[in-house]
Structure 1
């Protein structure tokens, strides 16, 4: 049977169906890390697709205020099929650009005001595999340090409570708040690993695209926010 054209067509069909299934069920893994110590910020995010064959990493080492604007410097690296590409970008955000971005976001929210159900359904498919959040806080005064410690704990527990309502926590969150009594201090470090099936992400993206197509200039506005903001 496999010596006939029909047999080869059937084998090819089964192969491509299996390949498509593997792509659909493959996870999109997002690994995020953020650390703030004093006035220094360090953030890195890695996105892995197709079982790690494609990797997209963004490093944001610092944010600098120049008085009239904010300068953002980031290093972006992409790995695909064993080949890597890396380049640096520098963005400058002034007051006029902030106003323009806010206006664009308002328009986008208006276009997607009925999209909350789709977003909620997509978030229900997200699995959080790891959540670590460690903070050290001190004011130089024992009483105020104790109050600040309690406030930070309250913020963290509230955040976890909200998070558990919209995504699936696959492991117990790891959180610490360490009081520093002898000096003013604030250091926080957060890391998270989350994943969603490729098929669910594509489905949510298609639903968003169809909704934006109904609005004049909706797709172009979305592209401007994603690639120019």
Structure 2
């Protein structure tokens, strides 16, 4: 009986402490030429949770986007010889529908999103890029455009996130060869209790408005 009492006490203490513990998510995106890799590591609960997932971002986006056909072969005959050429097309109606659907979801769950966004801590956000086109003048213009893009993205993140710590944000020009390599890395941290509250807000919205969003 005494043993069971201690087990029950430990279980109660754990339930009390879990909402105050943090979940850490590290997101790393690497792209080198045409190769890319997305790595996500989730850790928390005093080391009991440690999950790592690696995937190809382009393949992931292709699997999630049913309206895009990346490799469509067309056979034709030219001077008596069959030829094949690759073409790609985008179902714009499907893309517009997905965009509007995402907007509806955001508006519906905005309270939960804003609640969690204001409590997420972003640490060591770094974004390093090496860029070259093989032509010095064009490379200079490309580097300028890349700086504009990075500045805009970081400004938006800094405005939308309360706790943002920047690491290295660099662009290294490569004037003697054509290359593109970029690495984006950041660490997100939030408390489990805040995630639970955000989930309750979402469930409340579903119960209030129903479970349809089409």
Quote the residue 2:188 is aligned against: 194
Distance 1:23 1:100, change over 3 A: farther
**Greater Rg, structure 1 or structure 2?**
2
- Verify the 8 A CA contact 1:111 1:212 in the aligned structure 2: no
Q: How many correspondences in the alignment?
A: 189
Cα distance, 1:191 vs. partner?
A: 0.9
- Verify the 8 A CA contact 1:136 1:178 in the aligned structure 2: yes
Write out the 4+ residue segments of structure 1 that deviate beyond 6 Å after TM superposition. Answer: 11-14, 96-102
Cα distance, 1:13 vs. partner?
A: 7.8
How is 1:94-113 mapped onto 2 (pairs within 5 angstroms)? 94-95=66-67, 103=97, 106-107=100-101, 109-110=103-104, 113=107
How is 1:79-228 mapped onto 2 (pairs within 5 angstroms)? 91=63, 94-95=66-67, 103=97, 106-107=100-101, 109-110=103-104, 113-169=107-163, 171-218=165-212
- Verify the 8 A CA contact 2:126 2:166 in the aligned structure 1: no
- Asked which structure has the greater RCO (Cα within 8 Å, sep 6+), the reply is 2
Distance 1:52 1:114, change over 3 A: same
User: Structure 1 regions of 5+ residues with no counterpart?
Assistant: 64-70, 74-89, 223-229
Q: What is the root-mean-square deviation of aligned Cα atoms in Å?
A: 3.2
Could you tell me how far apart the structure 2 residues matched to 1:20 and 1:43 are?
33
Tell me the TM-score normalized by structure 2: 0.73
Tell me the TM-score normalized by structure 1: 0.69
Alignment partner of 1:41 is 2:42: no
Distance 1:111 1:185, change over 3 A: closer
**Higher mean Cα deviation, 137-146 or 13-22?**
13-22
User: Structure 2 regions of 5+ residues with no counterpart?
Assistant: 70-90
